[in-house]
Amino acid sequence: MYGWIWRHLPFGLPGKIIGSIGLAAAAAALLWYVVFPWAEPLLPFDDVQVSDTGGQFAPEVPGDTGGGAVAPSGAEPSLGENEIPYATHSNNPEPSPSR
């Protein structure tokens, strides 16, 4: 296929090089502006799941100092402006001395 395209591009070697670059740019623009926006809703890139607790907050871990309080079922927790609704220290152990 590429050989057929190369043989049918006009104006000698400079025309073939410019035509090849133009065809590659047209294919990239078609993918970027038509195909990828069409396919984006079909792909799971934004389907992020932090835990498998069914949408509820993760239970508190004994000894956790991350402040990850569990909200009563059906109640929304009141979070401060910069507070996150889960513990950040429970799965983040301190580095070992060997590292």
Per-residue confidence in pLDDT tens, the chain, 99 aa:
888 888 888 889 999 999 999 999 999 999 999 999 999 888 877 767 666 555 555 555 555 555 555 555 555 556 667 777 776 666 666 777 775
Q: Are 52 and 63 in contact (CB under 8 A)?
A: no
The one-letter code for the residue type at 6 is W
d(CA 67, CA 1): 62
The predicted model scores a pTM of 0.44
